[in-house]
Each structure stands twice: as structure tokens, then as C-alpha cells.
Structure 1
Amino acid sequence: MQGPVAVGRLQTLQVYRFLQCVHQGDKLYIHKMVALGVENLLNMREPTDGISALHLAATNNYMEILGFLLSLGSQPNTQDHKGRTPAMLAAEQGHEPALTLLAENHADMNLLDAEGKASIRVSGIMASER
């Protein structure tokens, strides 16, 4: 699933500000931006790498923000420009709690990235490397 990519100055500025709020863990401002920002900001991807707020939260194991974004309706199967989902990124980083939370929220573990890898395979590789 591909969420919308920010287009134009307003969307681009808002998506980067939204990602900054996710990084800072600012739930109040995240909620405000979702309510008052550009349409579908919650699932919007930034134009350079195609990451969404959920990708950022999963990659950095921001569990509280990850759960908050999912509770607001963030789509767990959004893919970046390389076809990677938040679950794939969580698995690559060895963030098992994030991977579990995404799975509980209907993340498709069988989606393939641009290299043909799935979340389950990435997770298995990470587990065997520990």
C-alpha cells in the first residue's frame, strides 16, 4: 500500500514538521496536526525517501508514539520508496515490541519490498544474528 507522497510546498513543510513531532514524541501537536493539517497527513510520506510517521516511529522503537499513531488510524502497510513497511524497518532494527504491535494492528508480514524481502524473513534473519 502506498500512502500519498507530499507534493508542493505546504504538504512538504507539514509532513516534515509532522515527522519532527513524532521524533520529539509530541503527542499533543501530532493530534493537532492530524486534525488541522493537510488531508491525510497521518499517512503522508515525505518526498525524498517516502517514509511516513509510522516508519519513523517503528525504526526508532518509539513504542508510545507508534501505538498513538495506530490508534489515530495510521496505515501499518504503507511502503516507502524502497517498498519497505514499518514492520520491515522494525524487524531490521531488531525492535520486536514494535514488530509485535504492528502485527497486532494488521500489518501484513507477507508484503515484499523492492528486493523481494518480507517482514517475516527480515525478522528471522535478525533473530539468527543475535
Structure 2
Amino acid sequence: MAVAISGCAVAPTSRIFVSPESVNYTEDYIHRYSILRISGERYGVGGGQVRPFSRGGAGSGDCCVWLPGIGQSIKVEWKVGEFHDLRPHWKTFSKDVVIIGEAPSKANAEGYLIIRFFEGHEIEAEFV
């Protein structure tokens, strides 16, 4: 009960309608990223051309898709390589991540899912 009163407990939201955006805190060039179900099935949304941090560190995203809500997990798959590298030279990484953020005040809320890329191939997904 103390956890519920303190506000530390976050109940998962059923689903959120998002447009993904990305921020890159590494010096990797991220050619493309995709958001998938934990099973690996594609949602059909992601983004690309995520510049290295020293060159702005931001990238574009597709529009829009229903995803699991706050406290639930998704898989993010991303492809890294130098800016001019051809596809066969890209390296692929994937990671399961729990969606964080403030629970929306209404069911089935709309917003952005910010995918943040960190050193060591760590990521974060935050609903805003």
C-alpha cells in the first residue's frame, strides 16, 4: 500500500497511439530503426537517418501506430554503419525495452515515442 500511496507504482496503460522520434547520444550513424512486438512481428513503424550526436543526434520517424502502453515492452531493432556504408556493411542490433513515461490522462492517448540510443547499444523508449 505504501508504494501505491507514494506514487512509485505505475499501472500499465492499455495502448498508446504514437509517432516515433529518435535521439542519438552516440557517434554511430543509425540508418534505420524499427519497432516490433516482443515476438519479432513488425508494427510497420520506425524511423531513420539518425545522425551521430556530434552532428545533431536526431532522426525522423514514420507516422503513426498503436503500441502497447506505459510499463509494457516492445522490441527495437536498429541498423548502424558509417553514413556512406552500403547495406551489407551495416550492423544490426535489437533490444527489448519497457515503455516509460507519464501515463496519459485518457485511454488510448496520442503522443510521441522518443527512442533514445546510448553508448553500448543501450536504448530507452519514452512516451511523451
TMscore range, shorter length? under 0.3
Task: Looking at secondary structure, tell me which structure has more strand per residue.
Answer: 2
Larger Rg: 2
Greater relative CO, 1 or 2 (CA 8 Å, sep 6+): 2
Task: Looking at secondary structure, tell me which structure has more helix per residue.
Answer: 1
**TM norm structure 2:** 0.23
